[in-house]
Amino acid sequence: MRRRYTSTRLLEADVAGEPFTQFRSWLHDAVTAGLAEPNAMILATATNDGVPSTRHVLLKELDAHGFVFFTNHGSRKSAEMTQNPHVSLCFPWFAMERQVVICGNAIPLRREESEAYWRTRPRDSQIGAWASAQSSVIESREQLEAAAAEVAQRFPDEIPLPEFWGGHRVVPTTVEFWQGGPGRLHDRLRYRRDSGDWAVERLAP
């Protein structure tokens, strides 16, 4: 199974001076193109022993400091980020022959930041966060649904932010933009922090 890449070039003269502006431009392109969940990203974490794990999470915020997502603090990814804050993110925009790979450190958000996002979540998502002891072994689907029903009854009105739930910001050290090219001569431009500024360097495909 092989796909021929035919997209246009990604040249140094055409990209922004820092990665966040460039990422916003590509994310806008992905949204405009109608990609399914364009804010979905693969999060790779590892234990102190170097045992890796990956999963999809959703990018919920982007600012001048990094990429923000939210999760249960008792989950496997949270446990691994506590042990080892070095993580990687990947946005696999296959339909556009593009991907973005971010490497950096995951830093927990302040509780007030998590609360601000929590208030924007739909009620059923808030219930799900309370009901699921994420990454733990459970007996059945029925057990999970019963827990959700108990939460809904417990909080008939406003649902508070759980102590065990919140956000992380991935502060990047490198951000690589990959554009597929003919003959496997792909374009790879990597932003790398250099004394507080961003340097752009081309990587061989």
Task: Kindly state whether residue 80 falls inside one of the protein's structural domains.
Answer: yes
The answer to whether residue 3 is domain-embedded is no
Asked, for residue 150, whether it belongs to a domain, the answer is no
Token look-up 């374009």 returns: 187
Candidates 117, 121, 147; CA nearest to 132 is 147
**pLDDT for 22-41, tens place per residue?**
999 999 999 999 999 999 99
The annotation status of 54 as a binding-site residue, yes or no, is: no
Residue 68 lies in a domain: yes
The encoded tokens of residue 157 equal 């009105």
Has 169 been labeled as part of a binding site? no
92 within domain boundaries: yes
- How far is the CA of 22 from the CAs of 18, 28, 115, 129, in angstroms? 7, 10, 29, 33
Q: What is the CATH number of the domain that holds 61?
A: 2.30.110.10
Distance, in Å, from the CA atom of 175 to the CA atom of 88, rounded to the nearest integer, reads: 10
**For residue 185, what pLDDT is reported?**
87
Residue 65 sits in which domain range?
Answer: 19-121+163-202
Total domains present in the chain:
1
In a domain, 137, yes or no: no
3 marked among binding-site residues:
yes
Residue 188, marked binder: yes
Q: Is 99 annotated as a binding residue?
A: yes
Rounded distance, CA 69 to CA 63, Å? 12
The string of pLDDT tens digits covering residues 43-67 is: 999 999 999 999 999 999 999 999 9
- Tell me the residue type at 25: S
Domain-embedded: residue 14: no
CA pair distance 171, 203, nearest whole angstrom: 22
- Mean pLDDT across the chain: 95
Give a yes or no: residue 10 inside a domain. no
Which position among 111, 154, 184, 202 bears the catalytic label?
184
Active site residue 184: yes
